[in-house]
Amino acid sequence: MRPNLAKPADNRRPTAPPEPRRRVNRMAIWALVLSMLGITALIGIGLGYKSVIDIGRSREEGRPYAVAAIVVGSLYVFVFVVGLIVYWWIRSGS
């Protein structure tokens, strides 16, 4: 038996050049950082909303960071407000 020495057909199609990477919105990253700090959660929430709007206009990357900043910041504010309510409730009952 003779081995098949035929050259395989080149069925690869030429591909388009890769699309240049879009920039990540820096405001979204800052919003997430500020939201995670806790004390600056309100600033993080505001920057998160602003960066979502900017990302929609400029087609930049980073929407998940902005949404995470809004969620994390909102959770911090919620826990803080509930903590204050519980504190006042306990203080007034004594």
Matching residue, tokens 């007034």: 92
pLDDT the model gives residue 31: 96
- Rounded to 5 degrees, φ, ψ at 61 are -85, 170
- Looking at this protein, which amino acid is placed at residue 77? V
pLDDT the model gives residue 6: 63
Q: Give one DSSP letter per residue of 38-91, joined into a string.
A: STTHHHHHHHHHHHHHHHHHH--B-HHHHHHHHHHHHHHHHHHHHHHHHHHHHH
pLDDT the model gives residue 21: 80
pLDDT the model gives residue 71: 97
- pLDDT, tens digit only, all 94 positions of the chain: 666 666 666 667 778 787 778 889 999 999 999 999 989 999 999 999 999 999 999 989 999 999 999 999 999 999 999 999 999 999 998 6
pLDDT the model gives residue 17: 80
pLDDT the model gives residue 7: 64
